[in-house]
Copies of this chain bind each other. A is one copy, B any other.
Amino acid sequence: MIDEVRSITALGKVANYIPALADGRKTDLAVSVCTIDGQYFQAGTVEKSFTLQSISKVLALAFVLDIKGEEEVFSKVGMEPSGDPYYSISKLEFTNPTKPFNPMINAGALAITSLLPGHSMKKKLENFIDYVSCLTGNRKIEYNEKVAKSEFTTSFLNRSLLYYMKQFGVIEGNVEDIIDLYTKQCAVEIDCLQLARIGAIFSLNGQDPEKRNQLITKRTAKICKAFMVTCGMYNASGEFAIKVGVPAKSGVSGGILAVVPNRFGIGIFGPALDQRGNSIGGWKLLEKMADQFDINIF
């Protein structure tokens, strides 16, 4: 299946808005499945690591929801899909009081990052990395300094969103500090196997597929999966719900985290992107898996 799909990657484009991302090999395509009893299936070079980018949005959300609680989180960020591209700012202006529509668009994700637990920015980052490390089964997780730096230098739109939100009290603290933290959060490196394992945890409503301890509360896991369905695949989320029908979150590095509730988690890496920022090969693979394995949850 993966070979059939690989040819479609020629139609995509590797993200180049962050210089360090432009290194991705366009024809790369790998997929890993982790079942709820901890078995792995895989195709392609699944050990190749890549940065989380927007996939980190859903992990930071899970972390912050479990630490701070729904009330605090949803006082800052809404629950509705917006229909806009992830970088859009205009809805902030048209919403009164100012509140990002959801935690999957950049405005909302930045607000979530500002809520990460920790007494300093350094500690917040450490805590987030420890959290991801825990989800991956205590693998050593690190962020890619080159990617983080590259993104830090160029993410003017995110600064624009942050200053806008600071004006209206959605975020507190220093914008440069939050950008620094956010770009490092996005630059955390992972591979398909680890991503599939995290998918399996969501699949099990927060339980570790091996030890069966609860890593994420059931409530938080369900909230995250709901967001993945309504707004996890950028402004193609509706189409993805129709064509594939599973909770998923993509990133511009070409990663996709997908979840088949009570069955398995999926980790994909394919850096050739379609126009809306989703891995073109990854999407196609998931469509094929939907046909073959009847994973559509609806």
Contact = CB atoms under 8 A, between A and B. Distances in A.
Given A226-B241, A238-B79, A261 B297 contact: yes
A75 to B, nearest CB: 14
A175 to B, nearest CB: 8
Nearest to A223: B242
A166 B160 CA distance: 9
Number of copies of this chain in the oligomer?
A: 4
Interface string A213-248: 000000001110111011100011111011001010
A7 to B, nearest CB: 23
Contacts of A229: 229-230, 241, 298
Most chain B CB atoms below 10 A, which of A80, A159, A166, A167: A80
B156 A160 contact: no
Contact of A80 (B88, B93, B221, B236): B236
A12 interface: no
Contact of A89 (B80, B89, B241): B89
A84 interface: yes
A89 B83 contact: no
A136 interface: no
Interface of A: 78-84, 88-91, 93-94, 101-102, 156-157, 159-164, 166-167, 175, 221-223, 225-227, 229-231, 235-239, 241-242, 245, 247, 261, 296-298
Given A79-B238, A222-B296, 16 more contacts: A80-B236, A81-B81, A82-B83, A83-B101, A88-B93, A89-B93, A89-B164, A90-B93, A156-B164, A159-B160, A222-B242, A222-B245, A226-B245, A261-B297, A297-B297, A297-B298
